[in-house]
Amino acid sequence: MYLIGVALFALVILISVSLHEAGHMLTAKAFGMKVTKYFVGFGPTLWSFKRGETEYGLKGIPLGGFCKIVGMTPQDDDVDPADEPRAMWRFPLWKRTVVMSAGSITHFLLAIVTLWLAAMFIGLPNPALAEPQPAYVKITNCVIVGATANRDCIPGDPASPAKQAGLQDDDKITAINGVPVATYTDLVSEIRKLPAGSQATINYQRGGADQQVNVNLASVQRPPVDNPEGPVGAVSALGVQGPIPPPGVPVMLKYNAIEAVPATADYTGNLAVGTVQSLQRIPQKIPALWDAVTGEPRDADTPISVVGASRLGGEAVEHSAWEIFVLLFVSLNFFIGVFNLLPLLPLDGGHIAISWFERARSWVAARLGKPDPGRVDYYKLMPVTYVVILIGGAFTLLTITADIINPITLF
């Protein structure tokens, strides 16, 4: 089932990328631009046919797809003179913008429609659990001394102080050394305030009954709670995870077709914010990726490639966790959609940025009574494009390597 899940996730991602290219093709055709090729995959052609002026087919390397729109830039030198009036760069700015953004829009639509269907048939994460939660805890088997805490226990890790003291899953921590803790965040904050490795009196509730226990806390290395990228220092640890839902509170909620609309909109908004934040954190996570490749434990918050996502999809299918499979597919589509709009060549966002720069430059020239400077020379931008490709390729290779030799796991 794991291998089936890996193959299934890879297939749905290939289909979504193919639909991305179909978005470009269909909008270009609708505006009258000439599209000569639409292929799924790269490399040698396995099969193709021609309908009208477009050749459709499959290629041997199933790692994406492409469509060829005649005259994407004024510098394209393979435009037949008869096709010059239909060259893409000759069309109005708004039409070119629609065509170039159609791929990302396709990813967004795939994500939104999938979320809407999931809201009805699988459920979406309970939004109430996104709010600060009472300090219900899950007891870990160990504490991770080093700063990379998002990994499984390995031999040599100290035993969990909470487990040694007799605390259990679903216990609700109510006070630390007499200081009330209303939420799990409060719990972490109060534990961190104590001297590393000190003793603490823990008040908790189990089955509605108030209880108390003394715990010898562990000393671990952690960054500040409010600054995960800040300096690492010695702090105390209890050996618990959270926040977990209070007993009886569902993790996933299902909706009817009407209720699913605002639920999907809320989840999409949160996903958009999370995606932008993830993109901003990528440069900070490169050292952790390198550490994972060189043998250090893999940080669960590091980026993953399509290889890593497919492996996670395989785990989800293996454990019948279809909600994880679906939400992973949604998140990856949304990430691809946003990433592709970054104003960098050769991404679609780079072509859009250049088109709007040309319009702004022409507008300014007209207001100043100067000649229209015309189109941007793409050849002058090629060095920058090659740098972007080189950096992107190196990052992709690093991520794939980490996903192969030291993957993130769900279970």
Angle at 60 between CA 54 and CA 63, to 5 degrees: 90
Per DSSP, what are the bridge partners of residue 142? 159
Name the token pair of 381.
């931008």
In three-state secondary structure terms, 255 is coil
Per DSSP, what are the bridge partners of residue 57? 39, 48
Q: Is the peptide bond before 407 cis (omega within 30 degrees of 0)?
A: no
Q: How far apart are the C-alpha atoms of 211 and 359, rounded to whole Å?
A: 70
Catalytic option among 21, 190, 315, 358: 21
21 among known catalytic residues: yes
* Number of residues that this document lists for the chain: 411
Residue 187's identity, in one-letter code, is L
Closest CA to 66 of 75, 58, 76: 58
CA distances from 364 to 277, 291, 369 (A): 34, 49, 9
* Host H or E run for residue 265: helix 260-293
Residues 6+ positions from 376 with CB-CB distance below 8 Å: 354, 357, 358
The β-bridge relationship of strands 172-176 and 138-139 is: unpaired
The residues annotated with a catalytic role in the active site are 21
